[in-house]
Amino acid sequence: MNILWAPWRIKYILGKKEKNCIFCIHNREGTDEENLILYRGKLTTVIMNKYPYNNGHLLVAPIRHVPELDDLTIEELADLMIKIRASVDFLRKEMQPDGFNVGLNIGKVAGAGVAAHLHFHIVPRWNGDTSFMTTLGETRVIPESLKETYKRLKPYFDKLREEE
């Protein structure tokens, strides 16, 4: 039997579970850094994924709690796309990935972990980022802590907020 030690997971296992929607930022207690919120806008929010596929895995969601694209206004759709484009640009500048996966899962059956609140995933990708650990061990290796990634990305989103 192979054993992979992950002592940092105990905080999640034993910790308080989210009762409210993770994307409804007005329901979140604590600081933005604690909650991994990089950007709060009038229509859109950008949050780091707490359980990322890769470093820099971001979630872009409308502020309004809606499950479907049809529920969004034209202004919300446009703002989401603008924030997705900005997020990709910031990740490209700071982390120099070789590419990106940008996607949206609509409905639980399609893989939406939080089906009630529409959100886009932005996952930076690097050549060779799926190693034998992912392929054989079904285990992802995330080389940088969430706090360090947050500190690297936050200034870009602060500047975006100031420019609005």
89 within domain boundaries: yes
Does the active-site annotation cover 119? yes
Q: Give the lowest-confidence range in 20-24, 86-90, 132-136, 142-146.
A: 132-136
Of the pLDDT bands very low, low, confident and very high (cuts 50, 70, 90), residue 12 is low
Beta carbons of 85 and 68 less than 8 angstroms apart:
no
148 within domain boundaries: yes
33 within domain boundaries: yes
Query: Which CATH number fits the domain that encloses residue 33?
Result: 3.30.428.10
Rounded to whole angstroms, the Cα distance separating 122 from 103 reads: 7
How much is the pLDDT for 121?
95
15 within domain boundaries: no
What mean pLDDT comes out for the span 15-38? 78
Domain of residue 56, residue span: 22-163
The share of the chain scoring above pLDDT 90, in percent, equals 55
128 within domain boundaries: yes
Tokens encoding 136 = 């054989």
Number of domains, the chain: 1
133 within domain boundaries: yes
How much is the pLDDT for 144?
82
Tell me the pTM.
0.82
Round the CA-based radius of gyration of the chain to a whole number and report it: 16
Q: Where are the alpha helices (DSSP H) in the chain?
A: 10-14, 74-95, 132-135, 146-163
Rounded to whole angstroms, the Cα distance separating 106 from 68 reads: 7
Of the pLDDT bands very low, low, confident and very high (cuts 50, 70, 90), residue 110 is confident
The answer, yes or no, to whether residue 135 has pLDDT greater than 80, is: no
How much is the pLDDT for 8?
66
How much is the pLDDT for 10?
74
How much is the pLDDT for 37?
95
Binding site as annotated, residues for substrate: 49, 111-114, 121
Q: What integer best gives the mean pLDDT of the chain?
A: 85
The answer, yes or no, to whether residue 120 has pLDDT greater than 70, is: yes
Long-range contacts of 142-151 (CB under 8 A, 24+ apart): 142/52, 142/54, 142/55, 143/55, 144/55, 146/36, 146/48, 146/50, 146/52, 147/33, 149/48, 149/55, 149/56, 150/33, 150/36, 150/38, 150/48
16 within domain boundaries: no
Of the pLDDT bands very low, low, confident and very high (cuts 50, 70, 90), residue 2 is low
109 within domain boundaries: yes
What mean pLDDT comes out for the span 38-44? 95
Binding site as annotated, residues: 49, 111-114, 121
